[in-house]
């Protein structure tokens, strides 16, 4: 990569109500985009069947989490459904400096906190389901939660959806591949933003001076 093409990485905050498809879209981005890396959050919730520590989440005790939070080791953290979730700071800052993009699968609280911590780096994308009925169907189809948890998530979805106006982009996820294609367009445009082109100022100055 030449000096004029070198850029600072960006932070893409991808949010949605549970079941709208953000985790599926996040997995596609990580699998298909070699420059994108997934931020692995820390959490105090127990691992679900099939989840591996350090892959889906860094699973830790509440005591360890609270100590890290107190030391400023998280970019953001929040209490969601009785468990803490947070974004470790050091790996994110290292990735951005090296020109890599970091993807965050977070709720609106996490996205808001990320924007407060790094407003120039964050690109917010909110994913909406095509209907209330489809959202409930997707939650049941996952077969990961009991009916009481599904009911709680559906009750919470209206509040989550109300925060769509805080995001830079909003996509209705009717078909995954169609939504993913739009997500790629957003990413491509954001990577070309002038303030992310670290070497561009010097390159343009040299051109102007002849």
* pLDDT of 202 higher than 90: no
* 60 lies in some domain: no
More confident position, 203 or 3: 203
Total structural domains in the chain?
1
Q: State which residues form the domain around 131.
A: 3-39+100-205
Share of the chain above pLDDT 70, in %: 90
**CA 35/CA 44 separation, integer angstroms:** 29
Quote the pTM value: 0.80
Angle at 117 between CA 112 and CA 123, to 5 degrees: 60
> Distance between CA atoms of 103 and 183, rounded to whole angstroms?
12
Instruction: Provide the percentage of residues in the chain whose pLDDT is more than 90.
Output: 61
What CATH number does the domain containing 142 carry?
3.40.50.300
> Would you say residue 44 lies in a domain?
no
pLDDT of 199 reads: 84
pLDDT tens digits, one per residue of 2-17: 544 689 999 999 999 8
Residue 58 counted as domain residue: no
Evaluate whether residue 52 is within a structural domain: no
Domain-located, residue 183: yes
Specify the 3-state DSSP secondary structure of 86: strand
The pLDDT assigned to 136 comes to 65
Sign of the dihedral defined by the CA atoms of residues 125, 131, 132, 138, in that order: negative
Q: Which of 16-20, 29-33, 125-129, 149-153 has the lowest mean pLDDT?
A: 149-153
- pLDDT score for 1: 47
Q: Is residue 70 part of a domain?
A: no
Mean pLDDT to the nearest integer, 181-200? 94
In a domain, 91, yes or no: no
Q: How does the average pLDDT of the chain come out, rounded?
A: 89
Tell me, yes or no, whether 168 lies in a domain: yes
- The CA angle 125-130-131, to the nearest 5 degrees, is 125
Bigger pLDDT: 151 vs 203 = 203
């Amino acid at each position: 990569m030449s000096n004029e093409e070198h850029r600072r990485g960006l932070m893409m905050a991808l949010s949605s109500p549970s079941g709208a498809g953000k985790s599926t879209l996040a997995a596609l981005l990580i699998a298909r985009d070699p420059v994108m890396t997934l931020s692995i959050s820390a959490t105090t919730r127990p691992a679900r069947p099939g989840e591996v520590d350090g892959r889906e989440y860094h699973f830790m005790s509440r005591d360890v989490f609270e100590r890290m939070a107190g030391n400023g080791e998280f970019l953001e953290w929040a209490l969601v459904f009785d468990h803490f979730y947070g974004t470790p700071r050091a790996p994110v800052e290292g990735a951005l400096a090296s020109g890599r993009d970091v993807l965050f699968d977070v709720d609106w609280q996490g996205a808001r906190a990320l924007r407060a911590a790094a407003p120039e780096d964050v690109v917010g994308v909110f994913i909406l389901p095509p209907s209330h009925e489809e959202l409930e169907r997707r939650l049941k189809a996952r077969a990961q939660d009991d009916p009481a948890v599904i009911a709680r998530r559906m009750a919470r979805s209206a509040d989550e959806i109300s925060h769509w106006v805080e995001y830079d982009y909003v996509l209705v996820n009717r078909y995954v591949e169609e939504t993913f294609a739009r997500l790629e367009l957003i990413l491509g445009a954001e990577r070309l933003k002038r303030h992310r082109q670290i070497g561009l100022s010097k390159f343009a100055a040299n051109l102007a001076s002849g």
